[in-house]
Structure 1
Amino acid sequence: MVKRRRGALLAFGFALAAALLPSGGARAQTTVTIATVNNGDMVVMQRLSSRFEQQNPNIRLRWVVLEENVLRQRVTTDIATRAGQFDILTIGNYEVPIWAKQGWLAAFDNLPAGYDAEDILPTVRTGISHEGKLYALPFYAESAMTYYRTDLLQRAGISMPERPTYAQIREIAEKITDKNNQVYGLCLRGKPGWGENMGFVTPLVTAFGGQWFDSQWRTKIDTPEWRRAIAWYSDALRQFGPPGATSNGFNENLALYAGGRCGIWVDATVAAGLLFDPKQSQVADRVGFAPMPTGDFAGGPTWLWSWNLAIPATSKQQEAARAFATWATSKEYIQLVAQENGWVAVPPGTRRSTYDNPEYQKAAPFASFVLRAITEANPTASTREPRPYTGAQFVGIPEFQGIGTQVGQTIASTLTGTGVEQALRGAQSATERAMRQAGYPK
């Protein structure tokens, strides 16, 4: 039965890919160059892509796999200069609408019926659309949650609140930290970058009542709200976090938690499938989860991120690129991952059919929690004071890549001795200067 299902899956994949290639397409081999991030799900995609090449012998895939910050720099430079090095870009829902508006991306028009674009969760689909058209296809999507070690909390005689606050997270982290045994109460992103440490810091600041800019585009970093948020972050990580936190981004903290070194980790929901997978996690049977912590302001914009496959308008291999992007984001690809690695390991957050599948529900105890977090995510909600931009863990303007990364470096310095007030004064000044040079307010 398994062999018949796998054969049918491969046959469908061949038909799906072939439908996207020109009729009687060229027999010469076409090379499609793919830029992607070194996250676990993308590593699986690269490994399984040999199936696609078997089905499409006229297409050869060339992979450029990069660390997250480097990937963002490379693909941004490439597309802005129209260098045309890549045929497929792995980019987020931050870049897609901005780059589509610039005319830098090819639209995904006329997708085959078998792809079932309507199966993509509405919040995810909206984030990668511009003027009603899809300009990328989602590989996985995420909101955010709190992971914690149930055994460590039980040993300390405490329990995780149903909806924890940041103050409670700090108290719990203090009680479960055991540095002598290299168990750290709290792991958070410390690596500088607009999508690394600032991906966590921006919603943290929102929870403390802060924001990047007011309704007139005046910079609001050197404020009491930012000072309270960064003081919490810096103090908690220095006291209860692992050494060298400024080197730890998503992947590094994932490895620490899966290796039994973290008591609490607040980060993306996509990590759940990896942490609950006994093949990849030493603590798979001891993982609890709760919502992202709250501060003194609730109801603000909520974390929503997706990693997507997009085709630059400069690509000379657009039909072949469409064939691969469609294959790698299809329902059939998700089933292939389930057959190879188990349902708990499939790329999450993109399709309703994944969450409707009883096998996934059985394998992933977090499934309904994550589905609700993503479907209810509202990155356009207001901060405590009105704001002129959208985004929960980023500011939806082109200039944010540079501004966010520069501020991220300043925030990281608070983990190695720079005072919070000094750091925020510097961040305020640098951001004001960057915004003036960019012509804000517009």
Structure 2
Amino acid sequence: MRLPHITKPRRHLLTLASVAAIAPLSAQVSAETITVATVNNADMVVMQSLTSEFEKAHPDITLDWVVLEENVLRQRLTTDVATQGGQFDVMTIGTYEVPIWAKHGWLTKLDNLPDDYQVDDLIKPVRDGLSLTEGENQGLYALPFYGESSMLYYRKDLFEKAGIEMPEQPTWTQVNDWAAKLNSADEGVYGICLRGKPGWGENMAVLGTMVNSFGGRWFNEEWEPQLDSPAWSEAINFYVDMMGKYGPPGATSNGFNENLALFSSGKCGMWVDATSAAGKLYNPKESSVADKLGFAPAPIAKTEKGSHWLWSWALAIPESSKSKDAAQTFITWATSQEYVNLVGEREGWASIPPGTRVSTYENQSYKDAAPFAGFVMDAITSADPTDPTLEPVPYVGVQMVTIPEFQSIGTQVGQMIAAALAGQMSVEQALSSAQRSTERTMRQSGY
């Protein structure tokens, strides 16, 4: 921007009005930049696409995005927060990390949110999962961007063609039988798609709930690993056998996003995964099966306990951030009712970030666009992280164990099971190795 030409005799007469005209440029130049690290899931891609909306409403703040695949994001953020590296002002983390990191003093407590944010509108199990509920530092440490449980998606047209009727509560045995009938690899349709990509938040999210429903648990009440138990063996053998017969090739490369792409393009007869996928699958702009989609509760085996998970992707501010006020301005905007309405109007109501606010599920526009809304709300509110297994356990968490060691343990176990799925070792070998490595980790950690 060039200043207006001023002739030499009057150059000393720069007035306050002239300075005022230049002020907006100065403000723009001095805008505070905050770095936001997030996962490459569809809802976060929408959030990034609305950067201009946020910056227009908050011209003193500029957003710098770091968008990563889930496993890479977790590694980067864990390293940064543990070393107080200060690379990020906003971190996208979840129900696992928040209470652990908050206890370490790594996250900023969100105890001065504006009244119009309406904290009480946040769904209670989701809010509680992002809080410390005991001790002197009780409070909220992250704001939920979206919340989820898990469910079974299926192709109604394929079910009808095969003469299959979906019961109120499907079992894993039924799912296996249906997958056999639906599988038509020659036509590019696989009976079932499940996560195979290793990671505590990837394949082990689905497998954790499967093991729960088969009557298994990660640890007994003495914190002794149970990975070589009959329940684990039965569940993982079932998974490997079913996926080997009726799943897509190369399944060990498929996580949430890859399976979402497969199902939405018509290549899967069934898919058990996050309820957060429902909005994308029901959106005809993004899904070729939007008009053929059916849904049901996540399958069970011996018990319903722990058969569907509870998770929230949330936005938190690390203590190492030097721009906490600007970061809080952003996370309150991105998790507000205002943001939900913005996405509903821009992207369609079925595509809003789900599972965080009671008001979302009272919104008639959302209920009209999302036939799954009430079902998802019930799944989220009925998941019980404090009582997730048939036999008693010393830990909290449905598809995870909320102890610091679990990030390493869950990923190691996920890698071994992925090796079994790929045919590189037997399930018994994988679980035996997983048992030994977990025992070693727990012993070194003083359990």
Bucket of the pairwise TM-score, normalised by the shorter protein: over 0.9
Q: Residue 309 of structure 2 aligns with which residue? A: 303
Cα shift readout 1:113-171 (whole Å, capped 9, x = no counterpart): 11111000011110001144110000000001000000001111111221000000000
Kept after mapping to 2: 8 A contact 1:301/1:378: no
Q: Distance in 2 between matches of 1:202 and 1:345?
A: 27
How many angstroms does 1:42 deviate by?
Answer: 0.1
Aligned letter for 1:129? S
2:204 corresponds, among 190, 195, 198, to 198
Q: State which of 403, 412, 416 in structure 1 corresponds to 2:409.
A: 403
Distance change >3 Å, CA 318–CA 27, structure 1 → 2 = farther
Matches within 5 A, 1:165-176: 165-176=171-182
Choose which of 63, 66, 69 in structure 1 pairs with 2:68.
66
Give 1:27 deviation, angstroms. 7.6
Write the distance in 2 (CA, Å) between the matches of 1:382 and 1:77: 29
Alignment partners' CA distance in 1, 2:48 and 2:422: 37
Cα distance between partner residues in 1 of 2:259 and 2:323: 37
1:382 to 1:264, Cα distance in 2 relative to 1, 3 A: closer
Q: Name the CA distance, whole Å, in 1 between partners of 2:200 and 2:441.
A: 15
Residue 268 to residue 32, structure 1, CA distance change in 2 (3 Å): same
Identity of aligned residues (%): 59
The AA in structure 2 aligned to 1:393 is Q
1:251-278 alpha-carbon deviations (Å, 9 max, x no partner): 0000000000000000010000000000
| Paired residue type of 1:83 | G
Report what 1:53 is aligned to.
55
Instruction: Select the residue among 233, 243, 257 that pairs with 1:237.
Output: 243
Contact 1:27 1:58 in 2 (8 A): no
Q: Is 1:217 equivalent to 2:219 in the alignment?
A: no
**How far apart are residue 372 of structure 1 and its match?**
0.9
Matching of residues 1-400 of structure 1 within 5 Å = 28-131=30-133, 132-300=138-306, 302-400=308-406
Question: Does the CA contact (< 8 Å) of 1:206 and 1:300 recur in 2?
Answer: yes
Q: Is the contact made by 1:152 and 1:263 (CA closer than 8 Å) also made in structure 2?
A: yes
Shift of 1:201: 0.7
Distance in 2 (alpha carbons) for counterparts of 1:28 and 1:351: 35
Q: State the Cα distance separating 1:302 from its structure 2 match.
A: 4.2
Quick one: distance in 1 between partners of 2:286 and 2:389? 37
Q: C-alpha separation between the residues in 1 aligned to 2:182 and 2:205?
A: 25
RMSD of aligned Cα (Å) = 1.2
| Mapped partners of 1:49, 1:209: distance in 2 | 46
Give 3-state SS (helix, strand or coil) of 2:168's partner.
coil
1:315-340 CA distances to partner (integer Å, 9 max, x unpaired)?
Answer: 00000000000000000000000110
Q: State the AA in 2 paired with 1:422.
A: Q
Residue equivalent to 2:19: none
Give structure 2 stretches of 5+ with no counterpart: 1-26
TM-superposition CA deviations, 1:197-243 (whole Å, max 9, x none): 00111111011111111000111001110000001100001100000
**Cα deviations by residue, 1:253-311 (Å, 9 ceiling, x for unpaired):** 00000000000000010000000000110000000000000011233474100000000
Q: Distance in 1 between matches of 2:246 and 2:388?
A: 32
Q: Is the 8 A contact 1:301 1:379 kept in 2?
A: no
Q: CA deviation at 1:341?
A: 0.7
In the alignment, which of 391, 397, 421 is matched to residue 428 of structure 2?
421
Q: Which moved more, 1:383-392 or 1:282-291?
A: 383-392
TM-score normalised according to structure 2 size: 0.92
Contact 1:349 1:371 in 2 (8 A): yes
Say whether the 8 Å CA contact 1:45–1:328 is kept in structure 2: yes
Maintained 8 Å contact 2:90/2:318: yes
- Determine which structure has more spread, i.e. the larger CA radius of gyration: 2
TM-score by length of 1: 0.93
Question: In 2, Cα distance between the equivalents of 1:399 and 1:305?
Answer: 18
- Whether the 8 Å CA contact 1:301–1:381 is kept in 2: the answer is no
For structure 1, the residue ranges without an aligned partner over 5 or more in a row are: 1-24
Q: Tell me if the contact between 2:281 and 2:287 (Cα under 8 Å) persists in the aligned partners.
A: yes
SS in 2 for 1:410: helix
- Equivalent residues, number: 416
CA distance in 1, matches of 2:430, 2:305: 28
DSSP 3-state at the match of 2:385 = coil
Q: Map Cα deviations across residues 367-395 of structure 1 (whole Å, 9 max, x no partner).
A: 00001111222111142221111100111
